[in-house]
Every structure is written in structure tokens, then in C-alpha cells.
Amino acid sequence: MNVDYKEAFEKTKEAGSIAAGALDEVNKIIKPGISTGQIDMLCYEYINDHGAYSAPLFYRGFPKSCCTSTNHVVCHGIPSEKILKEGDIVNVDVTALKNGWHGDTSRTFKVGNVSIKAEKLVQATYESMMKAIGIIKDGIHLGDIGSTIQSYVEKEGFSVVQDFCGHGIGKTFHKEPNVLHYGEKGTGEIIKTGMIFTIEPMINYGNYETKTLNDGWTAVTKDKSLSAQFEHTIGVTKDGCEIFTKSEKIIK
């Protein structure tokens, strides 16, 4: 990794801030009665208005500008006419492409009042991501990240999805390395200053297994239990890491 990583960090931060800003807008309008298609339109417009492209749109044939994954949908839910109702949880995943660089982030939103069960799952999922981000610095192993997430969520009684993972990101949307959200300390690649990748744990209330629906995208829990996810794009530094998809307005 050469010194040019500073430029990569700046570019990724620009893209990441737009993606985070889109989610801040979603946070303002999300409530029972709106459709996932309306969320998609909002993300499309916000990202365009900020001089960027929505990377998911037409990515490998994906038809919309963001992913909306409700309740037992693990990831890659396709926005539609589907109306959100009180008690739903919905992950909105946006990726902005600005000046050739990607920023990828997602949050799970609570629609009105949700069950204590859903509340706990969403909180634990967020915590697991932040705990992993907290240990990242030059020299640790990728397995340290997975192990941090897995040990925490399993202690809380939840399970880690294994069929999808975080990923390197930059001029390319998805690149090496694969960032698994489970694993053993001290195993896997050693991460280095300047690397940019996502952490995006998908955590299930029940069993970890998933299956993909006939639309070729929507991944759901096999046992129909609830699933939550959060995602940040980060850059590794000597003593820690920088989060490129932080919200200016709210903590999550």
C-alpha cells in the first residue's frame, strides 16, 4: 500500500458521506404507510442531487437504487409497492458512486414501535458492527473482526449469517478481501494501513441459514426469523480506522 491511500480515503469519504446523507433522509420520512419503493425514489434523488450515482442500480441486473430488506429478509430485498407497517424493521442499504469511488452503508430502521425482541436484535447488530470497528488497526487479522462479531452476538443469543460478507471497496464496488463476520482470532489475512473495506454483519434472531427467493436477489432466513444489518465503509490506519459513512446528524 503506498502513500496515495490518503487520496483514496478522501474520495471514499466524499462518496460515503452522500450515502450516509441519503440514509439520514430516509430516517426523516420512514413511518407506517410508506412503501419501500418510496424509500428507493428518495435515495435515487438524493444521490443524484449530490452529483453521484446509485451503484446498485443495474448492478448485475439489480433493478433499483437501494436494497430494502424487511423483517425476515436478510439482504438484497428489492424495493416495491410493499407498504411498511407498524412494528416492521427494515434495512436500507445504499451505495453512492462519486468521482469513480464507492461508499457503501446501511442501517436497520424501526417502523413505529417494534417488539422488544426486534429492538434487542437491532441493538445487538449495531453493537456488533461498532465493536468490530473498535478493534480495527494496522496489523490485526481479518479473523479478529469475525470473531469479535460472532462471540458478541452469540452471547446475546443470536446467530451470524455466513452466506454474505463484507468486502473491499474502492473504484470497484465489491473487491478483495472478503470480510467474514464470523471466525477465529489470529486467522486470515493481516490488514494494513490504507485498506478500505466494509463491515456489514447480518444477524438473525434464530438460525443462521439463508435462502434466496426466485427473484434471484431477495435473501431470507430459512426459519423465517427476524434479521437485522448495519454497514459502514472504513479505512485502516496505523492506530485505528476512519469511518467514511458516518452520519453528520445521528449516531447510527
Interface mask toward Co ion for 52-91; x: CB under 5 A: ----------------------------------------
Q: What is the nearest approach in angstroms of ligand MF3 to the Cβ of residue 108?
A: 13
Residue 215, Ramachandran bin (φ over 0: left; ψ between -120 and 50: alpha; else beta): alpha
- Of 11, 76, 98, 102, the one binding ligand MF3 (CB under 6 A) is 76
- Of 69, 70, 91, 95, the one binding ligand MF3 (CB under 6 A) is 95
Strand-pair partners of 236: 241
* Chain-centre distance for alpha carbon 52: 19
Which residues, including other chains, have CB under 8 Å from residue 64's CB and lie 6 or more apart? 40, 56, 57, 78, 79
Interface positions, 104-133, toward ligand MF3 (CB under 6 A): 104
In 3D, which of 131, 196, 159 has the Cα closest to residue 74?
159
- Of 198, 218, 221, 225, the one binding Co ion (CB under 5 A) is 198
Q: How far apart are CA 123 and CA 139, in angstroms?
A: 29
Q: How far apart are CA 126 and CA 3, in angstroms?
A: 32
- Of 40, 88, 93, 144, the one binding ligand MF3 (CB under 6 A) is 93
Q: How far apart are CA 47 and CA 51, in angstroms?
A: 7
Nearer to ligand MF3, 11 or 76 (CB): 76
3-state secondary structure of 168: strand
Nearer to ligand MF3, 68 or 116 (CB): 68
Q: What is the nearest approach in angstroms of ligand MF3 to the Cβ of residue 34?
A: 20
Stretch that binds ligand MF3, among 10-18, 28-36, 58-66, 208-216 (CB under 6 A): 58-66
